[in-house]
Amino acid sequence: MAAAQPSDTPARSPNHPLVQAHGLTKRYDGRTVVDGVGLTVRTGECFGLLGPNGAGKTTTLRMLLGLTPPDAGELTVLGEPIPERAREARTRIGVVPQFDTLDPDFTVRENLITYASYFGLKGETLARRVEELLEFASLKGREDVNIQSLSGGMKRRLTLARALINQPALVVLDEPTTGLDPQARHHIWHRLRTLLSRDTTLIITTHYMEEAERLCDRLAIIDQGRVIACDSPRALIQAHIEPHVVELSGHAATVWLDKQGALPEGERLHRVGDIALIYTHDPRPLLQRLDADGLRYLHRPANLEDVFLKLTGHDLRD
């Protein structure tokens, strides 16, 4: 199952970028959906595209696959110019689309075999690989079941297994856990980490901050078609946000804040809906004041969502 590929192509040499994009732009009917996106994805990393719905994540992914020709910009994936040689690149890419594209007329096993046939795979090698993937996706014992009777989580795992049928060097996943329950999400994350341990490169879009924080080595925050920040989750948090967050909500919080007037130096207030977020390097004075006034609050470390709020100035539009 290791992503063993011939190592003679330049894209496979260590640290050579697997994806290189400059100034990618896409307009639909005069509306700019992707606006000068530049990305570099390194071999073996998990790279995240994080952003709200409509930020241009899916369009960017489609560009990488050659399914959306950019209006401007340059793009190389696995050493192939895209979209010119997208088909050739896709022989070494696995795709997990956002929406289910499994074949409802086929069983679990038939889905894998049929998809493999699109890559020209057959015979002994394929039979062995199908068994390995059924194991990997925990679908043993269900191989002859029609896919309509699978749960959402099983369908996702089958889709992931299907994406690995060609032993891809790069797997592209568009919101792989959207709509799944917590257990099913953990199942998927577990398998994605297994892939990373085998040096498969992953590009993943998500609007779940915790998913991005858990999985991604580096990520690009995208808003309105632009990359507004790109680094590791930890570095993004360190660079952009105070380490402590105190959350207040409800009427009592509003009254309390009004009474406070301006917050002291070193405490930054950000309101989202009826929630007030106070960011600070030293939370102790603030907590003392809150405790003294008997207010309910939540004190937590800063996370990606806070970075996102600060950089975009607005809430996630989930």
Contact with another protein (CB under 8 A): which of 27, 45, 67, 263?
67
The span of 84-92, 131-139, 203-211, 215-223 binding another protein (CB under 8 A) equals 84-92
Nearer to another protein, 51 or 66 (CB): 66
Record the tokens describing residue 148, joined without a space: 């309509």
Distances (CA, A) of 132 to 127, 143, 145, 200, 202: 9, 12, 17, 16, 20
Rounded to whole angstroms, the Cα distance separating 170 from 90 reads 9
Closest CA to 62 of 156, 159, 171, 172: 172
Nearer to another protein, 78 or 248 (CB): 78
Q: Which helix (H) or strand (E) segment is 228 a member of?
A: strand 226-231
Choice between 172 and 276, CB closer to another protein: 172
Distance between CA 121 and CA 91 in Å, rounded? 11
Question: Residue 283, CB half-sphere, CA atoms under 13 Å: how many?
Answer: 18
**Cα–Cα–Cα angle for 194, 192, 212, rounded to 5 degrees:** 130
Structure tokens at 180: 């799944």
Piece of the chain touching another protein by CB under 8 A; list 50-58, 83-91, 136-144, 261-269: 83-91
Choice from 50, 95, 202, 216 touching another protein (CB under 8 A): 95
Angstrom distance (rounded) from CA 261 to CA 108:
62
Q: Which is nearer to another protein, 67 or 287 (CB)?
A: 67
Residues 106-145 that bind another protein (CB under 8 A): 106, 110, 114-115, 117-120
Pick between residue 65 and residue 227 the one whose CB is nearest to another protein: 65
Stretch that binds another protein, among 66-74, 184-192, 204-212, 303-311 (CB under 8 A): 66-74
Taking CB under 8 A as the criterion, the residue among 55, 65, 212, 278 binding another protein is 65
Total number of residues shown for the chain: 318
Nearer to another protein, 88 or 143 (CB): 88
Which spans of this chain sit near another protein (rule: CB under 8 A)? 28, 65, 67-69, 87-88, 90-91, 93, 95, 97, 99-106, 110, 114-115, 117-120, 163, 166
